[in-house]
Structure 1
Amino acid sequence: MSGPGEVTLELDDIQRGILSPRPTPYAATYLAFRVDDPAHGRELMRRASAVVTSAADSASPLGETWVSVAVTSTCLAALGVPRSSLDTFAWEFRQGMAARAKALGDVGESSPENWEAPLGNPEVHVVITAVAPDPLLLETAVDRARPAYDNLPGVTAIWRQDCYALPTETEHFGYRDGVSHPAVEGSGIPGSNQLEVPLKAGEFILGYPDELGGTQTPLPDALGRNGSYAAFRKLHQRVAEFRRYLKDNSTDPSDEELIAAKIMGRWRSGAPLALAPRCDDPALGADPHRRNTFLYQRDDPAGFNTPGGCHIRRVNPRDTSVAGEVRLHRMIRRGAVYGPPLADGVLEDDGSDRGLMFAFIGAHLGRQFEFVQSEWINDSIFFGGGDAKDPVAGSADGTTGYTIPRRPLRRRLAPLPRFVVTRGGEYCFLPSLSALRWLGDLRD
């Protein structure tokens, strides 16, 4: 239920994958398609409107299982959306992620010419995502999506990425993942930080007032309203190199875990340094009601507990005094592991591809995803850290070390190599269920 002054979201028209946290554990599959025949592409949209799960369907008969459909700018053009309508979409979306690579720090090894085909190419038109609590139910979800694209020779499947989440909720570097998510006004879904006031719906859903009081809606309203944008990223993780860095910069195993916590901002259990500054607290890390309820500015403005340059303080500075308004840059993040884990204790790469498939969801690609990526992850001016980059996800080049604030002397670690390499990505639009039908009804 919405509280006083809150908007009422049309949940039955919004894709569930935009607002709903994923189940724990879960499995997921990303399927990419190319549209060769506009009529068949439009039929795919019409069929998809019948299989996509809405945000109102919080108690699906299949459990925490749902299907989402996203489209690229080239897809909208291929389906016959008029140029006058395309021009009202976010310009970053219209350019595509590959064209924005330099601004995102996707250079060198992470540049688009090194991406996994067909990611970043104009032939990626539709991305269907299926999510379920386990692999068996995932196949049920994929089967549910199959009628949308079966027997359409003008629609070709061109890529698939299977993902999963471990029962431990950790990713390949060993940290508990999926800890933080914002509350969205009118969604009925609580945020993970009880100290954070719910964000305006327009920060995540097009057609509603945002934090600045404005409303962003691509035209016509039937196409844009109740939709959102997603930035999909395939990120390869260099797990052996990350482990070696921790080992080489530490004095013993306990110091190794401390450095790991200072780099991330949380112990690997999920317990934040803000609440457990001296040693890990696994019980806290496992408690979703406590592990993310904290702020920085009042108790730790200098970063002696949670360094200003650590990963979680960069991507969400919370109440920290930084340039700009933090609430304008909040996103919904969805992460899923792909590839086999590297065996515990192994310090040499085994040649397997492993990493994370990320989806960053919001109504403002520029001031949400792109701002955080360029200004907070790949720069440090906002907190006085110079040109240092995020120690986990930044585009490090092996020339800048990592500094841990400490009394009486700060601790400086060796220059950081690049631990995460971009293997591909797409900017997509998540249409409402009625917009999928609208796309299905387009004519040449």
Structure 2
Amino acid sequence: MTTASIDYTDVQGTILSGYRVELARHFILSITDAAGARAFLANLVDGTGGLPAVTTAARPSVKPDLFVNISFTATGLAALGVTAQELATFDPAFQRGAANTQTAQTIGDVNESAPANWLGGLGADGGAGVHVVLNLWVTEDPAVLEATTQTLRAAFAGCMTELLAADANALPDNGVHFGYRDNIAQPTVLGAPRRKRPTPDDQPVVPTGEFLLGYPNASGGTYSVQPAALSTNSSYAAFRILQQDVAGFESFLTTYAAKAGIEPELLAAKVCGRWRNGNPLELVPEGGACLPSHQLNDFTYVQPSDPANDDTLGLKCPIGSHIRRNNPRSEAVVGTDATHHRIVRRAMPYGPAYDPARPDDTPRGLVGYFINASLFNQFEFLQGQWNQLSTFVKAATGPGGTNAGNAVWNISGEDVFLGVNDPGASSFTLAALGKNGANNTTITGFSRMIQTAGSVYCFLPSMTGLRYLAALGSPAA
């Protein structure tokens, strides 16, 4: 694959490079004065007027105290002056917006997760009043977070209304509230800045155009929008606030592990695809000490040339596990392969760490971006297809032939974490050798583990695009 040449100074940093930080605050804003909002943006782009500058993908020589990025909804772009004809060239899911009824049905934002129940009224009127997501990440100092927050609020106070400020705080060892080690597997994007600590894996490098507009994507085409100034080096994202029912998940493990006749920690590993310390079931099916970081993502599922390690049937890592659904790797699936549907995840926990000795109902979960070049073909595909359906897996037998089983019999229900999982229909299959799943164990009747507390479909313009938006009200524009 030909190396892509990317101008890192033109790309917002969070798209290609995650920030290793302890704190974050995400401001969700509604534009009330377009001219004032454009003036605010002009200062933010270059760090003038006392504001911090938008962070690019160019790696600094010294790690800064903070990072800033900004994105816009379709109605936000329209408020700044992008025309309806131009917006019609954008991703169809982005045009609908996160709070649209079709969107909510597609990705499972229903019942308690419906837009009508979102924080800050983000789902009101189909999300029409949600215009801007302004991101502030802080390396470690709470004083920097508060001082920069004061500066930003003073700057946007006359031109934008703050609908919500969503905070995030890192947990020890890159953990999340369900107890798993997180941020292990991210796609390797062609042309992206080299990682300080590379984590080798078995998977192909993903074409640049799956994450940045203006470059070839996995299908051989190129995503683009009009005007051209908003196209190359821009991207899309779903900004999500996902509330985790930690007490409910721990209760699920205890109750359903007993029904399945296994230990709770093994069930936790089976529904995720990894042990809570990050070890993948494919490499460590029996548990054990944490593997070195460079081994945690170096595995695959289907290995016809290596029958001893082939896991076509999901006997080690269930086919319906969270990581296998969201990236089936070498597995045979309906439609295109996993490379066409990868996403970059930039999310952090929010809320205090959960203490099982003192259960409480304090809100806690994950908040951040799910980044891609096509919300329709990447984020919505994963959410609406692989996470909610079990029929995407093609018929396939392992080394033992049909008498050992077939992959299509060894998956059921929806993703335990990201599925809707109504108790009347929820199920999860633990596979065993046997024709047509005869010896499988299937657990049923459990509830949804994660509720959507807010969602915004965003466009992350390039630096060129940000300057174009900031100048829309000028005579030259």
| Interval of TM-score (by shorter of Structure 1 and Structure 2) | over 0.9
Partner residue of 1:365? 375
Q: Does 1:318 align with 2:348?
A: no
Unaligned runs of 5+ in 2: 47-52, 304-309, 394-407
From 178, 184, 193, the equivalent of 1:179 is 184
How many matched pairs? 433
Partner residue of 1:88? 89
> After superposition, where does 1:327-338 map in structure 2 within 5 Å?
327-338=339-350
Do the aligned residues in 1 keep the contact of 2:118 with 2:452 (CA within 8 Å)? yes
Partner residue of 2:404? none
CA distance in 1, matches of 2:238, 2:154: 23
Do the aligned residues in 1 keep the contact of 2:414 with 2:427 (CA within 8 Å)? no
> After superposition, where does 1:49-88 map in structure 2 within 5 Å?
49-50=45-46, 51-62=53-64, 65-88=66-89
> After superposition, where does 1:1-16 map in structure 2 within 5 Å?
5-16=2-13
Deviations 1:60-84 (A, max 9, x none): 4526x31110111111111111222
Deviation at 1:188, TM superposition (A): 2.7
CA distance in 2, matches of 1:256, 1:19: 36
Helix, strand or coil: the match of 1:177?
coil
Partner residue of 1:432? 462
Do the aligned residues in 1 keep the contact of 2:209 with 2:218 (CA within 8 Å)? yes
Partner residue of 2:363? 353
Q: Does 1:308 align with 2:316?
A: no
Deviation at 1:137, TM superposition (A): 7.2
Partner residue of 2:14? 17
Q: Does 1:390 align with 2:415?
A: yes
The verdict on how the C-alpha distance between 1:61 and 1:329 changes in structure 2, with shifts beyond 3 A counting, is: closer
CA distance in 1, matches of 2:432, 2:143: 48
Q: Does 1:406 align with 2:428?
A: no
Do the aligned residues in 2 keep the contact of 1:47 with 1:147 (CA within 8 Å)? no
CA distance in 2, matches of 1:441, 1:279: 57
Deviation at 1:44, TM superposition (A): 2.0
Q: Does 1:342 align with 2:367?
A: no
Helix, strand or coil: the match of 2:275?
coil
CA distance in 1, matches of 2:414, 2:386: 8
Deviation at 1:172, TM superposition (A): 0.8
Opposite residue 291 of structure 1, the aligned amino acid is L
Structure 1 segments (4+ residues) deviating >4 Å? 251-254
CA distance in 2, matches of 1:397, 1:74: 33
> After superposition, where does 1:112-123 map in structure 2 within 5 Å?
112-120=115-123, 121-123=127-129
Opposite residue 452 of structure 2, the aligned amino acid is T
Do the aligned residues in 2 keep the contact of 1:224 with 1:435 (CA within 8 Å)? yes
Q: Does 1:293 align with 2:298?
A: yes
Do the aligned residues in 1 keep the contact of 2:341 with 2:382 (CA within 8 Å)? yes
From 214, 237, 240, the equivalent of 2:247 is 240
CA distance in 2, matches of 1:216, 1:41: 28
Deviation at 1:149, TM superposition (A): 6.2
Do the aligned residues in 2 keep the contact of 1:193 with 1:294 (CA within 8 Å)? no
CA distance in 2, matches of 1:76, 1:88: 13
CA distance in 2, matches of 1:60, 1:310: 40
Helix, strand or coil: the match of 1:390?
coil
Which has the higher mean CA deviation after the structures are superposed, 379-388 or 102-111? 379-388
TM-score, normalised to structure 1, is 0.92
Q: Percent identity?
A: 36
TM-score, normalised to structure 2, is 0.86
Unaligned runs of 5+ in 1: none
Deviation at 1:200, TM superposition (A): 0.8
Partner residue of 2:25? 29
The verdict on how the C-alpha distance between 1:354 and 1:345 changes in structure 2, with shifts beyond 3 A counting, is: same
CA distance in 2, matches of 1:188, 1:37: 37
CA distance in 2, matches of 1:151, 1:69: 13
CA distance in 2, matches of 1:273, 1:193: 17
Deviation at 1:248, TM superposition (A): 1.2
Deviations 1:22-65 (A, max 9, x none): 31x522111111111110111122122111011013434526x3
The structure having more radius of gyration, on CA atoms, is: 2
CA distance in 2, matches of 1:263, 1:321: 20
The verdict on how the C-alpha distance between 1:160 and 1:87 changes in structure 2, with shifts beyond 3 A counting, is: same
> RMSD of the TM alignment (CA)?
2.2
CA distance in 1, matches of 2:141, 2:122: 24
